[in-house]
Structures are given as C-alpha cells and as structure tokens.
Amino acid sequence: MSRNVCAGFMPLLDCAPLIVAAARGFAEQEGLNLVVLRETSWATVRDRLAVRHLDVAHVLAPMPIAANLGLGPLSCPMQVPMSLGFGGNTVTVSRAVWEALAREGAPADFDAAATAAAMSRVVAARQARGEARLVFAVVHTHSAHHYELAYWLASAGIVPGADVELIVVPPSLAAAALAAGQIDGFCAGEPWGSVAVAQGAGVIVTTKAHIWRASPEKVLGVRSEWADAAPDRLDALLRAVYRAAVWCDDPANRDELARLLARPEYIGQAAEALRPGLERRLTAPDGTAHTVPDLLTFADRAATFPWISHALWLYTQMVRWQQAEMSADGLDIAAATYRPDLYRRALAPIGAMMPSANSKIEGAPAVETPAGASGGRLTLGPDGFFDGRIFDPENALAYLESLQTGASAQKISGA
C-alpha cells in the first residue's frame, strides 16, 4: 500500500496542522510521504477529491456533510475523522459601515450582541431612507462563515437575503472588494480580516469566537474510499496531523509557524500579516490591539475531536437557511459523516486527550469544566453562543423551531 498522501489546502491560518505535519517531519515520522497542494477555491478542492487527485483535504466543516447529502455538484463520499480546530474567522466591515455602527452605539470590544443590535438599527435606518441593502460576503455557501454570520444577523432580527444581501467572495479578494465598495462587510478566516484592517479598507467588528466561543470551522475531509482502503495509513496521517496541531498551539513555535506559513507555496502573505491571527491579537475598531484568547485553537480543549454534535448543528443550519430539508435520514447522514470512532482508533494508542463522549451539548459549559476523558485532564469550555442558546443534539428539531420563531422567509439570495 502506497504511503503517499496528497492533501489539498486553501491559504488560511487553519491549514497550519496539515502544513506543519508535512514540513516539520511529523508525517515522515509516521512513514508517510505527505504532499500538500494549494488550491484556489473550495470548488476545486471538491473536484480534485472527486477525481482522486487528492486523498484528503483541509475543508470547510459543512462541505463533507453537504457532499454526503448530495447538495453540491460532483460530490464523492467523504468522512471527517478529525477537526482542524476552533475559530479563526472575523466579521469585518467597511469603514463607512463601521462609522454608522459607531453612531448607533456599537462598542469597540467585538461584543457580538451589542454590534448585532447596532447593525439592526443601521439596517433599519437605511431601509427607512430607501437606501440599497448592505452586501455581506461569505466564503462559500456551505461554510461555518455563512452560518455564523447569518446567526449573528438573525439574532438581531436582520433577515439575511431580505434585509441584507449575502454573496460569496473568495477570502483573498474580500479586502479588495471592501475597498472598492463592492461589498459592505465579510466573514472570512484569518489572515484576511487583519489584511483588510492593515490596508485601511476594513474594521473588524466581531469574531467567530464572540459569536460561538468553541465552534467548528475546518476539518480534515477524507475520501471514504481512501480511508477504507488502508486504515493504517489513515491512522498514521491522523497521528501526524494531531501532533502537528499540538505543535501549532505552542506559543514557543508561533514565530516559526508564521514564517513557515508565509512562504509562497503555503499562504504566501508576509509573516507580519499572519501574526494577529496566530497571536490571537486583533486590531479593534478604535485601533487598539485586543487579545481574543479563543480566536484560533488548533488542539487545546480537544479541538481536534470530531464531535458528532458539531455535524448535527451544521446540519440544522443547512435546514435553517433552506439548503436542505429536515429529515431523519439527513440527521443520520450528517452524524455518520463525522467519525470519532476513527479518531479514537488512531489516537487513543498514543495517549492523546480523548473525551469519553462522542457528542455534547453545544454552547455549554459557560465556564471551564472538567470532562470525562482519558489521556490526561480534559477541560471543556468556556463555551457559549453569544445569545445564550444551547444546542442539544438529541433535540435538533426543537432547537431549529426555537431559532425560526418570529423569522420569516429567510432565504439567502444571489447578487
């Protein structure tokens, strides 16, 4: 069995564990020849997986679920044996929108509830004056960015698609689109929010971590056929990427990580542009630097564990935004896409932190809390959605109904 692994990635900070596994010898230690290939769009990642150019990839967490549900074109059966961490995204708006938000009392501390409330007043005032709808960009239809931005807007009564437009723009072009006035805001992974700030085009108003503290973002997506063909090879890859993720979380390695990721074959941006995200220090609207401890987590607090409750939450959002129909089959397919069993098989033998459950109540606990685990002391939390809701994966339907109460005709529209 070949020990070659072709892995696709997009130039974003959270591709780090895959890059580090390849470049720092973690894959080699496992006897793997891990080749990482940069792609230019999620569509290309998906296509190359489908025709077996790629075996595995750094993908948006909802993508493998969407593939298994048959939602997009050209899908192949996918599995998620590992998450690539929490967080990483910012909501960045144009300077003009920030000024309007500030007049409506938006704070400069990234608080999600207060900025959403100010946003709803800005949107209402624009409607009253008969002005064009604000246009927000996300990176993909099936992305956590889409779901968290829509969640944040809807929490303040703003109906995405009706009150504001949602379109898709690649993250690397988002800062330019903001500067050119083609969009009014975007939700994208770092470094792109900080790049917009550095260019003077944008202001970060809140972050993924402020919307949902320990929330899923990217995962290691694996072609089912490839995973099933050689379980040993998959286990070796998971061990390599896990050790790389732990390495990425170590503050002592940040400098080296920034310089590595900056290289043209990886993210291809100046190391300086990558630092705000890696150091979890963002420029607030008032120009001061704020530490956001949960901005990006590679491995800590079991961030690499593929929680089935994450898959189910993502599925509820596909239903909420009318990408999928709620069904028992859909719930089963979403749950079966995530494979904590494979994670355990590969990582329990090396003593990795191993939660005892496969699913948990999302949005809780509010404070750091010990959790059942082997391989060390595991604390989960602090977690939480900014609006205080919790998601019980056993009651997905009731959760969905509670979210939709009062909302009408929520549909994401095109440009």
Partner 1 sequence: MTETALHILVIDNDRLRASIIEEGLREAGHARVTIIDDFKAIVRRITEIDPDVIFIDLENPRRDELEHMFQVSRAVKRPVAMFVDRSDQASIEAAIDAGVSAYVVDGLRKDRVKSILDTAISRFRAFDRLKRELDTARTALAERDVIDRAKGILMRSRGITEPEAYAMLRKTAMNQSRRIAEVAESLVLAAGLLSREGEP
What residues make contact with partner 1 under the rule CB under 8 A? 40-44, 47-48, 50-51, 53, 72-74, 139-141, 167-170, 172-173, 411-415
C-beta closer to partner 1: residue 45 or 258: 45
Phi, psi of 154 (to 5 degrees): -65, -30
Q: Please say whether the beta carbons of 308 and 335 come within 8 A.
A: yes
DSSP string, 358-398: S---BT--SS-EEE-EESS-EEE----BTT---B-GGGHHH
C-beta closer to partner 1: residue 183 or 302: 183
Detail the DSSP E strand segments found in 147-192.
Answer: 165-168, 185-189
* Closest approach of partner 1 to the CB of residue 318, in Å: 12
* Closest approach of partner 1 to the CB of residue 172, in Å: 7
C-beta closer to partner 1: residue 66 or 299: 66
Q: Please say whether the beta carbons of 108 and 284 come within 8 A.
A: yes
Phi, psi of 163 (to 5 degrees): -85, -30
* Closest approach of partner 1 to the CB of residue 223, in Å: 14
- Sign of dihedral through CA atoms 142, 147, 153, 155? positive
Report the phi/psi class of residue 366: left, alpha or beta, with left for phi > 0 and alpha for psi in -120 to 50: alpha
C-beta closer to partner 1: residue 38 or 254: 38
Q: Please say whether the beta carbons of 384 and 360 come within 8 A.
A: no
Question: Is the backbone peptide bond immediately before 365 cis, with ω within 30 degrees of 0?
Answer: yes
Structure tokens at 299: 């491995």
Query: What is d(CA 356, CA 37) in angstroms, rounded to the nearest whole number?
Result: 35
Angle between helices 62-69 and 308-320 (to 10 degrees): 70
* Closest approach of partner 1 to the CB of residue 265, in Å: 15
C-beta closer to partner 1: residue 42 or 266: 42
* Closest approach of partner 1 to the CB of residue 47, in Å: 5
* Closest approach of partner 1 to the CB of residue 114, in Å: 30
C-beta closer to partner 1: residue 139 or 204: 139
Structure tokens at 45: 């990642």
Mapped onto helix, strand or coil, the DSSP state of residue 221 is: strand
Burial of 220 (0-12, 13-18, 19+ CB in 10 A): buried
C-beta closer to partner 1: residue 248 or 324: 324
C-beta closer to partner 1: residue 139 or 211: 139
* Closest approach of partner 1 to the CB of residue 38, in Å: 10
* Closest approach of partner 1 to the CB of residue 319, in Å: 16
* Closest approach of partner 1 to the CB of residue 186, in Å: 12
C-beta closer to partner 1: residue 173 or 198: 173
